[in-house]
Amino acid sequence: MRKFWCLFFMFWPVLAIWLCWVSPANGWWFPSIAPWELGQQIDDLFYLLLIITTVVFIGTQFALGYVLWKGSDVKPGRAWFSHGSHNLEVIWTILPAIILLFISLYQMDVLARIRVMSKFPEQASRDPIAEVTARQFEWRIRYPAPGKKLLAQPQPDDLYTVNDLHVPVGQPVMIRLRSDDVQHSFGLPHLRLMQDAVPGLVIPVWFRSNAVGKFEIVCKELCGWGHYKMQGELTVELEEDYEAYLKALQEKMNDDGYPADAENAVAQSDEE
Amino acid sequence: MSIATHDTPGAHSHDDHAHGGHHEIGFVRKYIFSTDHKVIGIQFLITTMLMLMVGGALALGVRWQLAFPWQWMPIAGDLEVFQQQGGIISPEFYTMLFTMHATVMIFLVIIPVLAGAFGNFLIPLQIGADDMAFPTLNMLSYWFMWPAIFCFGISFVIGGVTAGPAAGWTSYPVLSAIISAAPGSGPAQTFWLLAVTFVGVSSMMGSVNYMTTIINMRAPGMTLFRMPMTIWGMFITAILQAFALPVLTAAGFMVLFDRTMGTCFFVPAGLVVNNADPTIGGGQPLLWQHLFWFYSHPAVYIMLLPAMGMVSDILCTFARKPLFGYKPMVYSMSAIAGLGFIVWGHHMFTSGMNPALGMTFMVSTMMIALPSAVKTFNWIGTLWGGHLHFTTPMLNAIAFVSMFIVGGLSGIFMAAVPVDLYIHDTYFIVAHFHYVLFGATLFGVFGAIHFWFPKMFGRMMNDTVGKIHFVLTFIGFNGTFFTMHLLGVAGMPRRLADPYNYPYLEHLLPMNQFMTYSALLMGFAQFLLLGNFFYSMFWGPKCGRNPWHANGLEWDAPSPPPHGNFESIPIVYRGPYEYSSPETDKDYLPQTEYISPRPAPAPSTA
């Protein structure tokens, strides 16, 4: 029975590692490959941490299993009368300290490129592509009219959609993120990105997708009873498709319900 | 296998002596409005164990919805109140479920079971005092829990099952500050905030008492560095509470004013919430996050350090070995407490605060992993070369170490800001804090319950039932929570009533069903603990003063200790972990046992 407990405590880490090992094949892993370089760098950092923590996990669990196994023998005499070891304390303080410091400094660059405004790609920060306003429970998107710039104040010719954000492929784009009511969070899990939409603040968020396709926009901060259905869609498309989309949107918004030739007919009849 | 020894005839006569010194007090003063720290501790313990079942039931509700979304709820679905929504969990009710699960578990289970139950019971016994410094204040700290329980309870039922506190346990404004943001939860959220204030008052009373008692009332010879780790854990926790809690209490009142009196501490101007008139505002929601986490991050350590201390005691006792690195253990605990005050921003990495602050918090957060690592290595060192006794408390304590390794390591992922941008608010973080708060703290508490039960009631708990409870809980726990890491990596956000709305999460349903079955197993296993506890209280085999052959002062008092604890003031000669010392023939050496120094050879007078 004593050995049983040792095996019990040694068995579960093995099971845990096996589970992590088979997870990617079963879909219990990243939803897809991140379609841009910073997303991939975030994944790389994740894998770096995963390697470090797995080594430490195996090491400590193995050490625990070993001391349990040794200590479970019924042997004559006493337990080892020891109050510790100064040298060991020094080693196992300094070594993790170096590793942890390395990890935190190693993350800085990616963090700065994602978050520090002066490091944003110039093209993106000069011309924000859209303003995304979160409200219970939808994403409202405001584009500038084609050929114009997005201004802080809404303009009469601005274009609006709900839950449907389109961006051109391969270009760095920046959105201005706001909230109209409570706090929300703009999450793009496929791009490994997330930014809270805080009431009262306008927060710039930049990203790029090098692959065309549709990605989910997820609200990741509890915003009320309908939080679970606050779902948007990011469409990444070719530059010309994107321009055509905006043009179509503009036409749709300016449409007053009458076909163009019918309007002309009315005008002609007036002249007569 | 067990080193528990039962009654020795000598123990009784001591009991009788100790009783003789005190005049009789009535039932109400003795068991209900008692000022005896042991009774108060046991009151806290039983209250929190019952609350554990309530919190667990709420969690099972959450798990039901994630495994079988929008399906008729077993048992509760038949209740009258759920008929209007067809016996299913509505999204409003789901929001309440996880809000109240966290609230109950944090404020009514973990904090009071550590500080309230074990802090109260153990501090005077382990430092050799006859009671707390302020016994009446101590009694009030327990009875201030009840207004909190009442307010939390009423907040849950006041508006029916679709209108409760629905802003999460973090209660971020503007959702929590403007009534129209969460229709129906108006009075409920207000009661919730009041309840948090009451819990705060209760904790603060305890904190003042613990600090005073530990500083002033230690027995002769009980120097600071002869205190058991449990006492160090409680002491540092009390300091953390004293410094962090006022911030939460103040912030709670500010939200309360925002809700009820129209102030705008956290509400900016011009918000149109749920088609109500625009807010006049001028406030800042991020302020709440700073204030809240300035308390709630140290609170994580309030919920951990005492358990770390108790586990250290249990490991030494059943390894029959001194603690490996006593002073490094004390220093690392202090370092955790100190660093705990400068890491709160890691909860806000995605909140839009200045990225330079984010970098600072990232470094400090990484560094707080260091003292935790040192403690883990020392626990393994403590077991190294020991003569292990696999009793129920020991198994739970080993599980603490094993689970804490996972909880500590997964924390590194969140501390790294770029990685956190992906896993923030996903199930990865849910896995992380359950490994710390359940895997570590609750297993520590289970160990402590079995370990000090003989001292509380003078009877032993059943070891076999204890082991079955441990195995089932351990399997259920890992089945539920280890898999959550994988859900998090797959990008499943927390707090979604129906994650399968998102096509990229649809395939996670079978995994969630497996987790729910594991959680059910874990939930039902707790009935074994309750059964064992209450059965053994009355019918367990009687034990003597020191059934585990442990060294601490508490084992020098009769079991259960009478009012006033010790027959005479104990005198302390050494630290608490002198197991297998060569100075004595036994493999333990109580702190109070005097060993006459070997006579020095007589100086020769040549």
Contact A78 B580 (CB under 8 A): yes
Residues of A in contact with B490 (CB under 8 A): 27-31
Contact A29 B373 (CB under 8 A): no
Quote the pLDDT of residue B606: 46
Looking at every residue in chain A, the average pLDDT score rounds to: 92
d(CA A35, CA B489): 17
Residue span of the structural domain in which B357 resides: 35-556
A20 — contact with chain B (CB < 8 Å)?
Answer: yes
**B230-269 residue pLDDT tens:** 999 999 999 999 999 999 999 999 999 999 998 999 999 9
**B38-51 residue pLDDT tens:** 999 999 999 999 99
Six-digit token string for B537: 């209280």
Please determine, for residue B29, whether its predicted confidence score (pLDDT) is greater than 70.
yes
Is the residue at A271 inside a domain?
no
Quote the pLDDT of residue A75: 82
**B542-557 residue pLDDT tens:** 999 999 999 999 999 9
Residue that the structure tokens 């630290």 belong to: B575
**B428-451 residue pLDDT tens:** 999 999 999 999 999 999 999 999
Is the residue at B19 inside a domain?
no
**End-to-end Cα distance, chain A:** 106
Choose among A101, A130, A102: nearest CA to A234. A130
Task: Give the E-state strand segments of chain A in sequence order.
Answer: 130-135, 138-143, 159-162, 164-168, 173-179, 184-188, 193-197, 203-207, 213-219, 231-237
Is the residue at A82 inside a domain?
no
Quote the pLDDT of residue B11: 40
B153 — contact with chain A (CB < 8 Å)?
Answer: no
**A232-264 residue pLDDT tens:** 999 999 999 999 999 999 999 888 877 766 655
Please determine, for residue B13, whether its predicted confidence score (pLDDT) is greater than 50.
no
For residue B454, what is the domain's CATH number?
1.20.210.10
A227 — contact with chain B (CB < 8 Å)?
Answer: yes
Chain B segment 219-278 residues within 8 A of A by beta carbon are 267-269, 271-274
Determine the residue of chain A that is closest to B392 in CA distance: A5
A243 & A136 share domain: yes
Choose among B395, B532, B549: nearest CA to B459. B532
Residues of B in contact with A112 (CB under 8 A): 355, 359
Residues of A in contact with B274 (CB under 8 A): 136, 181
A97 — contact with chain B (CB < 8 Å)?
Answer: yes
- Could you say which of A12, A116, A181 has the minimum Cβ distance to residue B181? A181
Quote the pLDDT of residue B28: 87
- Could you say which of B319, B486, B497 has the minimum Cβ distance to residue A28? B486
d(CA B504, CA B96): 26
Determine the residue of chain A that is closest to B586 in CA distance: A78
Cβ atoms of residues B285 and B353 within 8 Å = no
Choose among A148, A113, A154: nearest CA to A131. A154
Testing the interface with A: which of B275, B339, B425, B481 to mutate, by most A Cβ within 10 A? Answer: B425
Half-sphere exposure of B289 (CA within 13 A, CB side): 23
Of the pLDDT bands very low, low, confident and very high (cuts 50, 70, 90), residue B77 is confident
Give SS3 for A168: strand
Choose among B443, B523, B530, B449: nearest CA to B479. B523
Residues of B in contact with A9 (CB under 8 A): 398-399, 402
Of the pLDDT bands very low, low, confident and very high (cuts 50, 70, 90), residue B602 is low
A183 — contact with chain B (CB < 8 Å)?
Answer: yes
Cα separations in angstroms, A260 against A244, A248, A249, B80, B394: 19, 15, 16, 59, 83
A98 & A161 share domain: no
A131 & A236 share domain: yes
Is the residue at A17 inside a domain?
yes
Is the residue at B587 inside a domain?
no
Is the residue at B71 inside a domain?
yes
Q: State the nearest Cα–Cα gap between B320 and chain A, in angstroms.
A: 6
Determine the residue of chain B that is closest to A200 in CA distance: B268
Quote the pLDDT of residue A114: 93
CA B26, B29, B35, B36 dihedral sign is positive
Quote the pLDDT of residue B596: 81
**B364-409 residue pLDDT tens:** 999 999 999 999 999 999 999 999 999 999 999 999 999 999 999 9
Q: State the nearest Cα–Cα gap between A168 and chain B, in angstroms.
A: 22
Contact B321 A1 (CB under 8 A): no
Quote the pLDDT of residue B8: 42
Contact B273 A136 (CB under 8 A): yes
Residues of B in contact with A68 (CB under 8 A): 383, 388, 398
Is the residue at B301 inside a domain?
yes
Is the residue at A164 inside a domain?
yes
A131 & A21 share domain: no
Give SS3 for A78: coil
Determine the residue of chain A that is closest to B362 in CA distance: A104
Of the pLDDT bands very low, low, confident and very high (cuts 50, 70, 90), residue B184 is confident
d(CA B462, CA B531): 10
d(CA A194, CA B367): 25
A159 & A108 share domain: no
**B334-352 residue pLDDT tens:** 999 999 999 999 999 999 8
A67 — contact with chain B (CB < 8 Å)?
Answer: yes
Q: Sheet of A159-162: strands edge to edge?
A: A159-162, A138-143, A130-135, A173-179, A203-207
A76 — contact with chain B (CB < 8 Å)?
Answer: no
Contact A79 B273 (CB under 8 A): no
Please determine, for residue B570, whether its predicted confidence score (pLDDT) is greater than 60.
yes
Other CB atoms within 10 A of residue B479 CB: 17
Poorest-confidence range of A35-49, B154-168, B465-479, B483-497? B154-168
A108 & A131 share domain: no
A91 & A161 share domain: no
A59 & A168 share domain: no
Is the residue at B340 inside a domain?
yes
Is the residue at B563 inside a domain?
no
Six-digit token string for A10: 């040694």
Please determine, for residue B17, whether its predicted confidence score (pLDDT) is greater than 50.
no
Please determine, for residue A106, whether its predicted confidence score (pLDDT) is greater than 70.
yes
A101 — contact with chain B (CB < 8 Å)?
Answer: yes
Other CB atoms within 10 A of residue A252 CB: 10
For chain A, the domain total comes to 2
Residues of A in contact with B387 (CB under 8 A): 71, 75, 78-79
B198-206 mean pLDDT: 94
Quote the pLDDT of residue B1: 37
Residues of B in contact with A133 (CB under 8 A): none
Residues of B in contact with A42 (CB under 8 A): 418-419, 421-422
Using the 8-state DSSP alphabet, how is residue B540 labeled?
A: S
Six-digit token string for A8: 């019990």
- Could you say which of B385, B406, B422 has the minimum Cβ distance to residue A192? B422
Q: State the nearest Cα–Cα gap between B600 and chain A, in angstroms.
A: 24
A63 — contact with chain B (CB < 8 Å)?
Answer: yes
Residues of B in contact with A1 (CB under 8 A): 1, 390
Quote the pLDDT of residue B107: 95
Residue B533 one-letter amino acid: F
Determine the residue of chain A that is closest to B399 in CA distance: A9
Quote the pLDDT of residue A263: 57
For chain B, the domain total comes to 1
Determine the residue of chain A that is closest to B93 in CA distance: A225
**B266-284 residue pLDDT tens:** 999 999 998 888 888 889 9
Is the residue at B329 inside a domain?
yes
d(CA B76, CA B88): 9
A29 — contact with chain B (CB < 8 Å)?
Answer: yes
Contact B273 A181 (CB under 8 A): yes
B285 — contact with chain A (CB < 8 Å)?
Answer: yes
Strand partners, A178: A133
Q: State the nearest Cα–Cα gap between A249 and chain B, in angstroms.
A: 26
- Could you say which of B355, B377, B483 has the minimum Cβ distance to residue A111? B355
Six-digit token string for A20: 């992590």
Choose among B206, B200, B186: nearest CA to B132. B206
B179 — contact with chain A (CB < 8 Å)?
Answer: no
Please determine, for residue B15, whether its predicted confidence score (pLDDT) is greater than 60.
no
Of the pLDDT bands very low, low, confident and very high (cuts 50, 70, 90), residue B34 is very high
- On whether ipTM exceeds 0.90, the answer is yes
d(CA A215, CA A207): 13
Contact A103 B366 (CB under 8 A): yes
Residue span of the structural domain in which A108 resides: 2-71+87-118
A204 — contact with chain B (CB < 8 Å)?
Answer: no
**A87-103 residue pLDDT tens:** 999 999 999 999 999 99
Is the residue at A187 inside a domain?
yes
B399 — contact with chain A (CB < 8 Å)?
Answer: yes
A114 & A130 share domain: no
Testing the interface with B: which of A218, A219, A231 to mutate, by most B Cβ within 10 A? Answer: A218
- Could you say which of A83, A101, A222 has the minimum Cβ distance to residue B175? A222
- Helices B285-302, B229-260: crossing angle, 10 deg rounding: 160
Looking at every residue in chain B, the average pLDDT score rounds to: 91
Half-sphere exposure of A86 (CA within 13 A, CB side): 0
B523-541 mean pLDDT: 97
A177 & A138 share domain: yes
B172-199 mean pLDDT: 89
Chain B segment 524-583 residues within 8 A of A by beta carbon are 579-582
Quote the pLDDT of residue B9: 40
B318-323 mean pLDDT: 95
Please determine, for residue B605, whether its predicted confidence score (pLDDT) is greater than 70.
no
Q: State the nearest Cα–Cα gap between B545 and chain A, in angstroms.
A: 23
d(CA A194, CA B342): 24
Integer-rounded Cα radius of gyration of chain A: 28
Six-digit token string for B38: 């042991």
Of the pLDDT bands very low, low, confident and very high (cuts 50, 70, 90), residue A105 is very high
Is the residue at B233 inside a domain?
yes
d(CA B438, CA B406): 12
A140 & A253 share domain: yes
Strand partners, A162: A140
A184 & A138 share domain: yes
Cβ atoms of residues B251 and B283 within 8 Å = no
